[in-house]
Amino acid sequence: MLEIRKTPMVAVAAAIVLFPLLAAAIPAMNHYTGIMVFAGIYCLITIGLSILMGYAGQISLGHAAFFGIGAYTSGILTTQIRIDPWLALIAGILAAALVAVAVGAPSLKLKGHYLAMATLAFGIIVNIVFREQVALTGGPDGMGGIPRMQLFGLMIDSTQKFYYLVWALVSGAFLFTVNLLQSPAGRALRAIHTSEPAASAMGIDIARTKIIVFVYSAALASLAGSLYAHYMNFINPSSFDLFFSIKLIIMITLGGMHTLWGAVLGSILIAFLSLEWLHFFEEFEIVVYGGILLAVTIFLPHGLAGVPAMLRNRLRR
Amino acid sequence: MATRMETNTILEVEALIKSFGGVTALMDVNLKVPKGGIKAVIGPNGAGKTTLFNIITGTLAPTEGQVKFNGGIISGLKSHQIAALGISRTFQTVELFDNMTVLENVLTGQHLHCSSIFMACGLSLPMIRRQERGMIAKAEKILAFIGLGHKADAMADSLPLGERKILEIGRALATDPQLICLDEPAAGLNETETEAAARLIQAIKAKGITVLLVEHDMHIIMNISDEIMVLNYGEKIADGTPTEIQCNPKVIEAYLGDSECAFI
Amino acid sequence: MDKITFASQLLQYTVTGITIGSVYAMVAIGFNIIYNVTEIINLAQGEFVMLGGLVMVFLQVSLGLPVVIAFAGTVLIVTLVGLVLDRLAIRPIRQPSVLTLIIATIAASIMIKGAAMLIWGKDPFDLPAFSGRTPILVGGATIQPQYLWVVGFLVVTVIGLTLFFNKSIVGKAMSACSENADAARLVGINVQHMVLLSFALSAAIGAVAGLTMTPIALMEYDRGAMLAVKGFGAAILGGLGSFPGAICGGLILGLIESLGAGLLSSGYKDAYALVVLLAVLFFRPSGILGNLEVTRFKRF
C-alpha cells in the first residue's frame, strides 16, 4: 500500500501537466481546467485529512474552519494591510497551526464520538466568528478585492496559471506526505492507529504525535484556503461551513481513507460532481452527497481506491 | 542450576497497592528484580500478574506504593517515558502492528533511538535516509537473532502465533532495553515453539538484558528463571529460587495443586 | 407606560431559556435512548426535530387536518423515518466501528436534510400555536402559551418514559439491553428489535420537540445540525446516558444561551451552547451529574 511505484507517479505527473492543454483544445472541456483548480485546492485539504483520519484514526468534522482561517487571514492581510500574498499565506498557516494546537491538545485526548462532536462544535464556532466579526471579515456579505498572487514576478492571473500553481503545490504536499509515511514519523503514526498500548511501549508519545498530525492537516487546509481566496478574489462565510467539512469527509470516504491516492481521487470526483455534473440539479446536491456517503460507507468501506483489492479478493474465491 | 544472585537490583516494587473501584487487584506487593537475571512472576489466573506488569510499564498508575528503576521512581510516569528509560515489554494478547511488515515492526521498535522530526521526514533529508539504512541493518540483525530473518517482508498478521510472539519480543529488543518484561511469551505455543522461546529468553539474558516474565508454563519457569515470585489473589506469597518455590507449602497449596516437588 | 426593568428582562430571558432548554432536553433524551441501547451517537437526531416541524406544517397547514390528527400523523411519520434510518443506514454496516457509524449517521442526516429541502424548499415555515398567541404577563415578562406547551410536553415525555422503562415489559427489556446486551440476548430478548425501538422512540420524541417549537421559532430544512449539536451538548453536560442529566443539561444549556444572547451578544447566540459543549468535553466529559461509578442514575 505504501510502495509508491515510479511509473504511476510519472504517468500521473504527465497527465497533470498535459490536462489543461487537452481541456483548452476541446470546447466542451474548456472549463474543466477551472474545475481542476478547485479539485487541487480540495486535494491539499484531503491529503492532510486523509493521514489524520486514515492513518492516525482521528476524525475531524470541522476542517472547514482551518480552510477559512487560511482564506480570511490571506484576505484580511492582503486587502487591509496590503502585504505580499505569500507572506499572508504563511501567516495564515501559522494562525491555523496555533489554533490547531490550542484546539487539538484537549480534543485529541477524546475518543470517537466525543472527538467528532468537539471538532464539529469547533468548526461551527469558527464559522460564527467569520459571520459576526463584520469589521474584520465583512460578515455574511463577504470580503472582496482580494488581489492576485505573483510568483517570481509572474502574475498568476489566468485559470491555467493558477492550475499549475495549485497542482505543483499538491504534488509537493503529496510527495512530502509519502515521504512522511515511509519514515519513522510515519511508522509512529501507523503504530498509533493499530495499537496505542504497543506504540506507547515503543516510546512513541501518542498525544504529541496526534497533535503534530492535526497541525499538519490544519496547515495544509490553511494553505488551500489562502489559494482559494486569491483565486476567487472574494470569500464569504458560507464556503467555510459545516457542509463543507462534511464534503471533505465525503471526498475521503469516496476515494478511500487508507491511501493518499484515494484522497486525490475523491477530491477530483466531488469537484466535478458539484461544479459540473450536478450543476443543473443543484437542489439534489445535498441528497446525492448523503446517498453517496451512505452507499460508500455500507458497500465500499475502503472507498474507490479499495476496489482493485476487493475485486482481487472476489476473483480468488 | 540457578542460585540466588547477589547483584544489584534493577527494578524494585515497593508496597504496591492497586484497586479498581471496590476491587483490590494488588495488595502490598514487593518485588526486587536482580540486574542481569531472569525473574518470573507466577500465580493462578486473576492473581494480578498483568496488572503488576501494566503498573511497572506505566499503562496503569498505582493506587499506593511505588516502582523504582535503577534507583529512580518511575511510578506515575507515562508508558512512553518509561520505555525511554529502558524498560520494554510484550503483551499477553500479542499487540503487533498488523498493518506493517515484520521488518517495519522491528523498525518501529527503534523509535526511541532515531530522529523522527516531522519536517525532516517529510522532506526526506539525507540524514533521514542515512538513518533509515542504519535502522534497517540493525533491524535485520535483530530478525536474524530471533530467527525471523527470512520473513522480513511478510505482513505481521500473516505469521503463525508462535512467530508473532517471537516477533513481538524482537520488536521489544529493538528498543535497546535494560529490562524486558515478557507477558506470557509461551501462551498458546506448542512444545517446539516453547523450547524456542525459552532458548531465546536465555539468549537475551546472555546479552546482559534483565528479563521479567509472567508465565504459566512451569517447565520454562523452573528451567530458566533465577528467581520466582508467586502471587495469589493480589498478594505475594513466596519469593525465591526455583528450588525454594517448588517446595514451599504455601505455593503448593495455592497453585501447584497436588504436584509434588518433582519438577527437576 | 411600563418600564422594562432589568429584573423583568432577566425573567424574560429565563422564561425563553427554559423553553428552548426543554427542546434541547428532549433532543438529549433522544440521544440517550439510542446511546443506552446501542452505544451509538445518532448524529441525525436533529433531523427528527426538523421533520417534526415540517411534517406537521404539511399535515396541519397544507392538508388542513385537525391539530390532534396532524400531531399523531407527524409522530407516526417521523417514527417511520427513524425505523428506516436504523434499517437502511445502521444495520447494513458489516464492520461497525465508531468512525463508520459516525459517518453513517452523518450520511443519513444529510440525506434527510436534502430530502426536506426538495420537498419544502429553503424557506422557514410557521405553525399555528396550539392554544393561541395571547401572551401571559408575569412580572414584566411575556410568556407565550406555546412555551408552556413545550415545557409541558417535556414533562409528559419524562413521565411517559419513566413509566415505560420501569413498568412495561418492553421498556424493562430495553433497560436490560442497555445494561448488558449479551445477557439480554440470553434471556430471549431480541436485541435487534430493541435497537429498532430505541430509534423509533428517539424519533418520536424528536418529532414532538419539533412540532411544539415551530410555532415559536419557525422551522426550516437545515435546522437539524445545530439542534443535534446542542442537544448532544445537553446530554454530555448532564452525563451521557442519564435522563435526569438530559433534563438538567438541556435547561442549563438553554438558560446559558438565552442569557448570553440577551446580556452579551445575540449574534453569537449559537456559540454559547457550543462553547459549553467544548468546555464539558475538555474538562469534564462525564458531565456534571455523570460519574463513572454512579450508573444507577443512568436511566429512570
pLDDT band for B40, please (50, 70, 90 cuts).
very high
Is the pLDDT score of A155 beyond 90? no
Q: Which of A311-315, B1-5, B125-129 shows the lowest per-residue confidence on average (mean pLDDT)?
A: B1-5
Residue B172 maps to a domain: no
Task: Check whether residue B123 and residue B186 sit in a common domain.
Answer: no
Residues in chain C: 300
Q: Is the pLDDT of residue B255 over 70?
A: no
* Interatomic CA distance for residues C144 and C135, integer angstroms: 5
Residue B118 shares a structural domain with residue B76: no
In the prediction, which pLDDT does C297 show?
Answer: 35
Average pLDDT, chain B: 89
Residue among A282, A289, A298 with most chain C CBs within 10 A, to mutate: A298
Q: Which residue of B has its CA nearest to A188?
A: B108
The answer to the question of residue B168 being in a domain is no
Does residue B170 form part of some domain?
Answer: no
Q: Are B28 and B17 in contact (CB under 8 A)?
A: yes
Higher pLDDT, A93 or C2: A93
- Reply yes or no on whether the pLDDT at B259 is more than 70: no
Find, among B192, B223, B203, B228, the residue nearest to B213 by Cα.
B228
CA distance C19 to C2: 24
- List, for residues B51-76, the tens digit of each pLDDT value: 999 999 999 999 999 999 998 999 88
Query: Which residues of chain A does B176 touch, with a Cβ-Cβ cutoff of 8 Å?
Result: none
Among residues A202, A223, A269, A199, the alpha carbon closest in space to that of A57 is found at A199
Same domain, B59 and B112: no
- Within 8 A of C232 by CB-CB distance, chain A residues are 117
Q: Are B116 and B189 found together in one domain? A: no
The pLDDT tens digits for A94-144 are: 999 999 999 999 988 887 788 889 999 999 999 999 999 998 899 999 999
- Please give the radius of gyration of chain A, using alpha carbons only, rounded to the nearest integer: 19
Chains touching chain A through at least 3 C-beta pairs below 8 angstroms are B, C
Q: CB distance A125–C115 less than 8 Å?
A: no
pLDDT at A86: 93
Residues B74, B17, single domain; the answer is yes
Q: Assess contact for C107 and C89: CB atoms under 8 A.
A: yes
* pLDDT at residue B231 tops 80: yes
Show the beta-strand stretches assigned E in B141-205. Answer: 179-183
Choose among B80, B110, B118: nearest Cβ to A200. B80
Strand pairing partners for B230?
Answer: B42, B238
pTM for the full model? 0.90
Q: How many pairs of residues across A and B have Cβ atoms under 8 Å apart?
A: 105
Torsion angle of the four alpha carbons C168, C173, C177, C180, in this order, in degrees rounded to the nearest 10: 110
Averaged confidence pLDDT in chain A: 90
Q: Is residue B167 part of a domain?
A: no
Whether residue B245 lies inside any domain: the answer is yes
Angle between helices A32-50 and A159-181 in degrees, nearest 10: 20
pLDDT digits (tens, 9 = 90+) for C253-296: 999 999 999 888 888 999 999 999 999 999 888 887 765 444 43
Question: In chain B, pLDDT over 70 holds for what percent of residues?
Answer: 94
Contacts of C278 (CB under 8 A, 6+ apart): A118, A121, A122, A125
| Cβ neighbours of C144 (radius 10 Å) | 20
B228: domain CATH number is: 3.40.50.300
Q: In this model, does residue B6 exceed pLDDT 60?
A: no
CA nearest to C213, candidates C274, C134, C273, C127: C127
- On chain A, the residues whose CB falls within 8 A of the CB of C278 are 118, 121-122, 125
C-alpha distance from A114 to closest chain C C-alpha (Å) = 7
**A147 DSSP assignment:** P
Nearest to B128 among A183, A200, A203 (CB): A183
* Together in a domain, B143 and B28: no
Decide which of C32 and B255 is more confident: C32
Rounded average pLDDT over A153-171: 90
Task: Name residues whose C-beta falls within 8 Å of residue C142's C-beta, 6 or more positions apart in sequence.
Answer: C12, C135, C136
* ipTM of the complex as predicted: 0.89
Provide the number of CB pairs (under 8 Å) joining chain A to chain C: 119
| Mean predicted confidence (pLDDT) in A29-49 | 93
Judgement on whether residues B203 and B257 belong to the same structural domain of the protein: yes
Which of these three, B126, B160, B194, is where a domain ends? Answer: B160
Rounded Cα gap, residues C51 and C202, in angstroms: 13
Asked if residue B166 is part of any domain, the answer here is no
* Interface list for A 47-76 with C (CB within 8 A): 53, 57, 59, 61
Residues B190, B196, B202, B205: what is their CA dihedral angle, to the nearest 10 degrees?
-100
For residue B262, is pLDDT > 80?
A: no
Pair B181, B56: CB distance under 8 Å: yes
- The shortest CB-CB distance from A113 to any of C102, C271, C278 is to C102
Residue of C nearest to A302 (CA): C100
Total domains present in chain B: 2
User: Would you state the pLDDT for residue C208?
Assistant: 95
Element (H, E) at B68: strand B64-69
Is the pLDDT reported for residue A1 higher than 60? no
Query: Is B169 a member of any domain?
Result: no
**Residue B7's pLDDT band (boundaries 50, 70, 90)?**
low
Query: How many beta carbons lie within 10 A of that of residue A35, not counting itself?
Result: 20
**Residue stretches of chain C with pLDDT short of 70:** 1-4, 290-300
Optimal mutation site among C95, C269, C278, interface A, most CBs of chain A within 10 A? C278
Average pLDDT over residues A289-297: 93
Same domain, B68 and B193: yes
Q: Name the one residue in this structure whose C-alpha cell is 443535534.
A: C228
Q: Return the higher-pLDDT residue of C174 and B183.
A: B183
pLDDT at A4 over 70: no
pLDDT computed for residue B2 by the predictor: 45
**pLDDT(B261) > 70:** no
The answer, yes or no, to whether residue B264 has pLDDT greater than 50, is no
Give pLDDT, residue A317.
63
Does one domain contain both B33 and B109? no
Show residues of chain A in contact with C275, CB under 8 Å.
Answer: 125
Smallest Cα–Cα separation from B223: which of B205, B209, B249? B205
Q: What's the pLDDT score for residue B44?
A: 82
Q: Are B168 and B90 in contact (CB under 8 A)?
A: yes
Do the chains contact at B59 and A186, CB–CB below 8 Å?
A: no
Do residues B70 and B49 both lie within one domain? Answer: yes
Residue of B150, B110, B154 lying closest to B133 (CA atoms): B110
- Cα-Cα end-to-end distance for chain C: 48
The answer to the question of residue B171 being in a domain is no
Q: Which residues contact B10 (CB under 8 A, 6 or more apart)?
A: B33, B34, B35, B36, B69, B70, B178, B179, B210
Of B160, B188, B215, the one marking the end of a domain is B160
Evaluate whether C300 touches C162 at the Cβ level (below 8 Å): yes
Q: Are residues B68 and B17 in the same domain?
A: yes
Q: Are residues B112 and B138 in the same domain?
A: yes
pLDDT at C1: 44
Range of B132's domain?
Answer: 97-160
